[in-house]
A and B are shown apart, each in its own frame.
Chain A
Amino acid sequence: MAGGPPKALLSSGPHSLRDMPHPLAVSSSEEAVGGDSTPSPDLLVARSFGDKDLILPNGGTPAGTSSPASSSSLLNRLQLDDEIDGETRDLFVTVDDPKKHVCTMETYITYRITTKSTRVEFDLPEYSVRRRYQDFDWLRSKLEESQPTHLIPPLPEKFVVKGVVDRFSEEFVETRRKALDKFLKRITDHPVLSFNEHFNVFLTAKDLNAYRKQGIALLTRVGESVKHVTGGYKLRSRPLEFAAIGEYLDTFALKLGTIDRIAQRIIKEEIEYLVELREYGPVYSTWSALEGELAEPLEGVSACIGNCSTALEELTDDMTEDFLPVLREYILYSDSMKSVLKKRDQVQAEYEAKLEAMALRKEDRPKVPADVEKCQDRVECFNADLKADMERWQNNKRQDFRQLLMGLADKNIQYYEKCLMAWESIIPLLQEKQEAK
């Protein structure tokens, strides 16, 4: 891969991605979940499969997460399954099977990465490797380096700051696994990033460390040049669309931050409510011990409240494990997108500066000097890549948030359904006429 452009660099040149058939595009104009009638010009089967446990068509199963079999969540799962069109997809990646490794120096977790592909870039049809968080972090930096004009998906946070979270607890590991799975799937769905050499190595190499030690920077032509762009150029005017994107991202991140805080607050209140409920239920039991005829009814109420408490605990766990992490991911995503936008600004600034310098020199050249042309190339390339990625990102974002928020509603519905069932089942017990003792 040294020197040559990566294969299928679809985004070089000023052509809009709209004109080119997308390798992962579904030919029909079906939208994803919800059957909405808004057609998007650039159709992508770029869904994130993170939250719900889906059975992938090629048999890969993610690490088991059991969702309660409520009718609403079942329907969600089925709908998504229907959308997968196995024929146009040629790369499937899954993260599962976390394992703890205890060594003399450290203890850490590795995850199994299963890859199935028919692409020629892969020597074998199937791969299974183990990777740890460090490796993902490395992959991401490499992608940022080698594909600076593209939006790279975020990783879950490296360090756990909040409270005393156990790095090796089941919940934490599962949350991280889901996020890592999503990370790889987003790359897989990306028409450019999925063909990246580093990505390939990450998925296939038996010994990643050896490869990492090589330290060879495998940059694309564009990557190389962008890497050397230093700051210090002042941007004249940002094109409207990029200014708008920047503003949008600012507000977006702000609102997500607010939602994150609200969600955390709700969880906190719910936990405090749970604490009280756990004291409340048993008092009915205590009372029941004093009574004769009322003993059973009171005991029944106590058990009922116990069931509701359990349901509430499940709700708060779900919120913490499934809802909050995805919010945080998107905040990280917007942050990294902002830095890509800055880079774009820099590239444009450099070009403008060179253009200005050229104008000042007032040389009578028949054509524009090569380096200025190169700059112009860079700018246009960057803009095109970014626009395409933004659009892709917007679509994914919409899918992700629709799924996330519907999931939120679902969890709450399930909680209330469990409680409803508990209370309804106790009514006949309460109404029972006691036989004369």
Chain B
Amino acid sequence: MEQASSDLEGQLQPAPLEPLGYADGELEAAVGEKAEGAQEESSGLDTMTENNFWLKKIEISVSEAEKRTGRNAVNMQETYTAYLIETRSVEHADGQSVLTDSLWRRYSEFELLRNYLLVCYPHIVVPPLPEKRAEFVWHKLSADNMDPDFVERRRIGLENFLLRVASHPTLCRDKIFYLFLTQEGNWKETVNETGFQLKADSRLKALNATFRVKNPDKRFTELKHYSDELQSVISHLLRVRARVADRLYGVYKVHGNYGRVFSEWSAIEKEMGDGLQSAGHHMDVYASSIDDILEDEEHYADQLKEYLFYAEALRAVCRKHELMQYDLEMAVQDLASKKQQCEELATGTVRTFSLKGMTTKLFGQEAPEQREARIKVLEEQISEGEQQLKSKNLEGREFVKNAWADIERFKEQKNHDLKEALISYAVMQISMCKKGIQVWTNAKECFSKM
């Protein structure tokens, strides 16, 4: 295992970083043995470690959502939704699943988990959470977080998130993730105790790096550009889709008025009456069919949204690379300047401006002993710096290698998922067309009997 710069990191990245080859997003997670060097277990789910199996499968589902009230950090009453997470282990022999864990979590805990993963696995494209607030809504859809449809879609999104994490070759073996599924109480404290927040890069630092890095890996630059474009195009798509849904809703609903007027008209007609009346009924059916159609389409919108948010995760990996690269470049620069300083001190020539040089000029030369001492310090620093540079270099290359591997995995997943999404969208449209043909054919039949 690579020796990372701190012990803390060592504890959080227990296993080697190569992917295990479960690169396709299957729904059942392959959960391996407990991380090496991890701290003591909490809920002692012995089935996970007892036989040292790699292939014990578990199923995760977010099966329910419940409104709750409680007191928050500032002791104010608040209403929130809690989600029930159930974990089942599937025995190989008979395929039966046994409920092994079940606990309630709220959205903020999911967020905490994700933030933790982001910090501890910066080379991984971490799966995104479903949106916190409803965006890209078309007018009929509620933007209210408490709306049952929104809650339901969020439940599915959260389940999807957990399944994505569980099927990721690296993330699935994280202990905190495991505890998230199994340890209801004290989980928040456990996460915070890892001190991962300290490891987080400051946003300012990251931004700085973006602008000042000189030689980032070209692939990452291109990838960042791609993720920006992807985010922009999917946002646009979602916005227009919402407007399209709105308009389509209007078209269908206005047809309902035909139902009413045909009915009224049929009252004054003799032979035409029946035909008109029954045709009117079909118009009513047509008008009400749009509700289900658009509900199905929301599922497609959610699939797009997931990749909209994935674009952000992709960008985060690129930024991490830029940061590391910038760090490296700074370290190189620093080392070079120290070496130069040393040289200048040793040879006595002052080639570059330095404060020491100035003060020497102003206040007289320093004693040889002082100079010797300074040279010694510098030499120590240089040696340390060279060590650090070596490890930073190694770290950087390791990061690039691992990140790129995960990016390739992500690309495959993305292409597969989005193709599936487009197919299901086309299928939805086909179904809508068929329904339309059916209704109008029925109406035509009624008209023909007029």
Contacts and interface: CB of A to CB of B under 8 A. Distances in A.
B150 interface: no
Contacts of B234: 287
Interface in B418-450: 418-419, 422-423, 425-427, 429-430, 433-434, 436-437, 440-441, 443-444, 447-450
A420 B254 contact: no
Contact of A413 (B240, B430, B444): B444
A314 interface: no
B250 interface: yes
Given A276-B243, A405-B450, A426-B426, A294 B419 contact: yes
Interface stretch (B13-21, B86-94, B208-216, B263-271): B263-271
A433 B371 CA distance: 71
A114 B255 CA distance: 40
A266 B255 contact: yes
B398 to A, nearest CB: 27
A414 B426 CA distance: 19
B176 to A, nearest CB: 34
B415 A294 contact: yes
B258 interface: yes
Interface in A264-288: 265-266, 269-270, 272-273, 275-277, 279-280, 283-284, 286-287
B272 A398 contact: yes
A412 B436 contact: yes
Contacts of B248: 273
A398 B440 contact: no
Contact of A297 (B279, B419, B449, B450): B419
A279 B240 contact: yes
A276 B238 CA distance: 12
B430 A290 contact: no
Contact of B450 (A276, A301, A401, A410): A401
Interface string A103-129: 000000000000000000000000000
A417 interface: yes
A277 B257 contact: no
Contacts of A420: 430, 433-434, 437
Contacts of B450: 34, 398, 401-402, 405
A138 interface: no
A172 interface: no
A290 to B, nearest CB: 5
Contacts of B233: 283, 286-287, 290
Contact of B226 (A290, A304, A423): A290
Given A294-B419, A401-B272, A273 B258 contact: no
B254 A419 contact: no
Interface string A168-201: 0000000000000000000000000000000000
Nearest to A405: B447
A248 interface: yes
Contacts of A280: 237, 240-241, 244
B422 A409 contact: no
Interface stretch (A158-166, A252-260, A339-347, A381-389): A252-260
Interface string A414-436: 01110110011011001100000
Given A269-B247, A273-B248, A283-B233, A413 B272 contact: no
A28 interface: no
Given A290-B229, A423-B429, A430-B423, A255 B237 contact: no
Contact of B440 (A290, A401, A413): A413
A423 B415 contact: no
A265 B261 CA distance: 14
A176 to B, nearest CB: 26
Interface residues of B, number: 50
A251 interface: yes
B106 interface: no
A262 B258 contact: yes
Contact of A406 (B229, B247, B448): B448
B271 A423 contact: no
Contacts of B241: 280
B230 interface: yes
B236 interface: yes
B251 interface: yes
A241 interface: no
A107 B205 CA distance: 74
B268 A248 contact: yes
B247 A294 contact: no
Contacts of A297: 419, 422
Contact of A262 (B226, B254, B440): B254
Given A293-B415, A430-B419, A402 B447 contact: yes
A423 B423 CA distance: 10
The size class of the interface chain A forms with chain B is: 35 or more
Contacts of A24: none
Given A72-B444, A280-B241, A402-B448, A269 B250 contact: yes
A58 interface: no
B415 A419 contact: no
A34 B437 contact: no
Contacts of A402: 272, 275, 447-448, 450
Interface string A32-53: 0110101000000000000000
Contacts of A431: 419, 423
Nearest to A244: B268
Contacts of A426: 426
Nearest to B434: A420
B271 A398 contact: yes
A349 interface: no
A231 B247 CA distance: 53
A427 B420 CA distance: 11
A203 interface: no
Contacts of A417: 433, 437
A151 interface: no
A290 B225 CA distance: 10
Contact of A419 (B226, B230, B423, B429): B429
Contact of A252 (B243, B258, B268, B447): B268
A200 to B, nearest CB: 35
A363 B250 CA distance: 73
A409 B434 contact: no
Contacts of A283: 233, 236-237, 240
Interface in A295-339: 297-298, 301, 304
A420 B437 CA distance: 9
A286 B232 CA distance: 10
Contacts of B440: 409, 412-413, 416
A256 B234 CA distance: 45
Closest 5 CB pairs between A and B?
A409-B444, A273-B247, A420-B433, A416-B436, A405-B447
Interface of A: 33-34, 36, 38, 72, 248, 251-252, 255, 258-259, 262, 265-266, 269-270, 272-273, 275-277, 279-280, 283-284, 286-287, 290, 292-294, 297-298, 301, 304, 398, 401-402, 405-406, 408-410, 412-413, 415-417, 419-420, 423-424, 426-427, 430-431
Given A402-B272, A412-B440, A420-B437, 20 more contacts: A38-B271, A252-B265, A252-B268, A255-B264, A255-B265, A258-B264, A259-B261, A276-B247, A280-B241, A284-B237, A286-B236, A287-B230, A398-B272, A398-B450, A412-B436, A413-B436, A413-B440, A416-B436, A417-B437, A423-B430
27 contacts: A34-B449, A36-B271, A38-B271, A255-B261, A255-B268, A258-B257, A258-B261, A266-B255, A269-B250, A269-B254, A276-B240, A276-B247, A280-B237, A286-B236, A287-B237, A304-B426, A398-B450, A405-B443, A409-B440, A409-B441, A412-B436, A413-B441, A416-B436, A417-B433, A420-B433, A423-B426, A427-B423
